[in-house]
Structure 1
Amino acid sequence: MIGWYVHHHGMGHLTRMLAVRPHVPGPVTVLSSLPRPVDLPADTEWVLLERDDADEGGGDPAGAEPTASGLLHWAPVGHGGHARRLAAIAALLPSFEAMVVDVSVEVTMLARLLGRRVALVVQPGERIDEPHVLGRRLADLAIAPWPGDDGPGLVHVGGISRFAGRSRASEPTPSRVLALGGGARDDLWRATIEHAMEGTPGWEWEVLDHERWSPDPWASLCGAEVVVTAAGQNAIADVAAAGARAVVLPRPRPFDEQERTAAALARRGLAITAHASAELDWTDLLARARALRPDWSQWRVDGAAERAAAAIDGVRRTA
């Protein structure tokens, strides 16, 4: 049996697991603070973990020495939820042949301390701080869900999309734009999209964000002549699966994660990139995106989930 830790920040880690899981042989137990999804694959158990970031009456856990003087990312002192979630994981680890961790240095360390092999899903960016270096060294294998050159203990499987291999829902509609993303607290993103809509009267906009979300935006992705999106790994993989022309606006993330992805897209000629602002010339951006002929095969979406599953199974087989 394989254990699979799914981080609870955003939905990208869960979406990635749901795309890869059907290709992983044997039973899997998922551990996460996210609610159990309704479309959980067969032979998959879901263990709901306590949150480790909630105020339990003792103040904000971010003030409780969570980094252990820079050696860890999140281990707040005296936080009951944090202690109980790690204890719940530790209680199950002896039954696992291997552990997939997406993403947590602390869970990687816990699994290795209990003698489990670890396949660690990593993120792009300048991750040379002590906790990230430690996590990579402790893991048996690191899986990078974007294209690149493999290295010792590192496998670039390509962009993992839930839509890989899916038939197109339609052909793009001229002058139709899909704006995809935008978190509840991302005021600049919201203002940027509102400015874009006001400044492009000849274009029809559809906005999917945290308030107007769709569990299956495939038809919208296929039907848009241009997709406007942030540079998250899952969003870019979905755009690649649809073969869409895109304007990519990287959002501020730790370790310059989205900046690195946007730069890679620009180098490959796959998207028009810019930074969110109320000053952007959207007539120019959409015209440039419309003229693109992106070769999204470079992002290696086809077969990415299968390659990730094979890497995970390889770690399990060496246990």
Structure 2
Amino acid sequence: MIGYYAHHHGSGHVTRAASIAAELEEPMTVLSSRPRSSEHAHLAWLTLPLDVDSAKTGDLDPTASGVVHWAPIGVRGFTERMAMIAEWVARTHPRLVVVDVSVEIALFVRLLGIPVVIVAMPGDRTDEQHQLVYRIATAIIAPWSKDVYDPASLHAFSTKTTYVGSISRFAGRPRTSNTTTEPTVFVLGGAGGTSLTKKDIDAAAERNSEYTWTAAGLDTQSWIDDVWPHLCSASVVITHAGQNALADVASAQVPAVIVPQDRPYGEQDATADALARAGVAVVAPSWPSPERWRSLLAEAVRVGSAGWHRVEASGAARRAARLLSETAAV
């Protein structure tokens, strides 16, 4: 038995867990405060309470004087989720637990005497809390290609870090046929939130009408469950720099313009910068003016899709699963 703690923000952590679980030869249980969707009904699941309480005020000392990121005093959900994890560990005796991501969960599980595998995140993770959790980890998974991105925060842990490549839910899925010859732009949002609005897309589409524009994931109204056909048929994809979105675009092998969103630790900025330096895709630091899109789209078409092989999306989930099996066997 392997456990996989998946953070509830957005859908990316859970999606990554499901991709890895599909490649494992032993059972895996997902531990998450994110409700299990019908898409993941086949996975064993421990639903944890949220670790926040909007009614709580005052000094909750959430960082425990700077030792961790989030361990608030007196928040019942936080206490209950830790108790549930301890009970689950005592009952199932997992061979290891993957943590994606939480400093507090990683430390807690390791103190219960269970090996911990940390899923690293891009950005500046040189703070004491991240470095502490990297130190206590038995192994670290970096879900990207070292050829494209080699962050300084992992250099001290090179002997236990494996760069598995970008993990996509669409890896190995056959490309759908493109039924249109008209140039198209597909704007890919995400469940983790976006600052983009329909107004932004409409303004860009109006000034660049030679393309047919479609947007997904900006809000509940624009949500599309299966974006794969849209990715495959697009002339250019515009996306944020979240790891799962980029892995999906890499699997579709389509030219892209990346517009990083503001995230803690400069996560998306660091990822976008690395892809730009590697010549994989075109990057706009922020959402451009409608007039700027014409040159950006032309540049994306010129750069093309050949560079996406460098992120090593093919086989990434399988490599991560193999690492877990090998680590659990030690």
TM over 0.5: yes
2:207 corresponding residue in structure 1 = 199
1:165 corresponding residue in structure 2 = 172
Specify the SS of the correspondent of 1:19: helix
Specify the SS of the correspondent of 1:106: helix
How is 1:173-188 mapped onto 2 (pairs within 5 angstroms)? Answer: 173-181=181-189, 186-188=194-196
How is 1:1-319 mapped onto 2 (pairs within 5 angstroms)? Answer: 1-40=1-40, 42=42, 44-55=43-54, 57-59=55-57, 64-94=60-90, 95-148=93-146, 151-171=158-178, 173-181=181-189, 186-188=194-196, 192-209=200-217, 210-211=219-220, 212-279=222-289, 281-295=292-306, 296-318=308-330
Q: Deviations over 1:123-152 (max 9, x none)?
A: 111101111001101110110110006822
C-alpha separation between the residues in 1 aligned to 2:227 and 2:102? Answer: 29
Q: CA deviation at 1:182?
A: 5.4
Residue identity in the other structure for 2:173: R
Specify the SS of the correspondent of 1:39: helix
C-alpha separation between the residues in 2 aligned to 1:289 and 1:278? Answer: 14
C-alpha separation between the residues in 1 aligned to 2:45 and 2:196? Answer: 36
Contact 1:173 1:223 (C-alpha < 8 Å) held by counterparts: no
Q: CA deviation at 1:292?
A: 2.0
Report the CA distance shift for 1:304/1:173 in structure 2 as closer, same or farther (over 3 A).
farther
Contact 2:9 2:192 (C-alpha < 8 Å) held by counterparts: no
Percent of matched pairs sharing the same residue = 43
Contact 2:254 2:304 (C-alpha < 8 Å) held by counterparts: no
Specify the SS of the correspondent of 2:38: coil
Q: CA deviation at 1:53?
A: 2.1
Specify the SS of the correspondent of 2:125: coil
Contact 1:247 1:286 (C-alpha < 8 Å) held by counterparts: yes
Contact 1:182 1:190 (C-alpha < 8 Å) held by counterparts: no
C-alpha separation between the residues in 2 aligned to 1:195 and 1:139? Answer: 47
Q: Deviations over 1:147-170 (max 9, x none)?
A: 006822111100000111111102
The size of the alignment, in residue pairs, is 314
Report the CA distance shift for 1:173/1:17 in structure 2 as closer, same or farther (over 3 A).
farther
Residue identity in the other structure for 1:300: E
Contact 2:10 2:193 (C-alpha < 8 Å) held by counterparts: no
Q: CA deviation at 1:190?
A: 5.1
C-alpha separation between the residues in 2 aligned to 1:189 and 1:300? Answer: 31
C-alpha separation between the residues in 2 aligned to 1:284 and 1:119? Answer: 43
C-alpha separation between the residues in 1 aligned to 2:134 and 2:198? Answer: 36
C-alpha separation between the residues in 2 aligned to 1:119 and 1:66? Answer: 24
Q: Give the TM-score normalised by the residue count of structure 1.
A: 0.93
Contact 1:101 1:107 (C-alpha < 8 Å) held by counterparts: yes
Contact 1:173 1:225 (C-alpha < 8 Å) held by counterparts: no
**What CA RMSD, in Å, does the superposition of the two structures yield over aligned residues?**
1.9
Q: Deviations over 1:8-40 (max 9, x none)?
A: 011100111111111112111211111112233
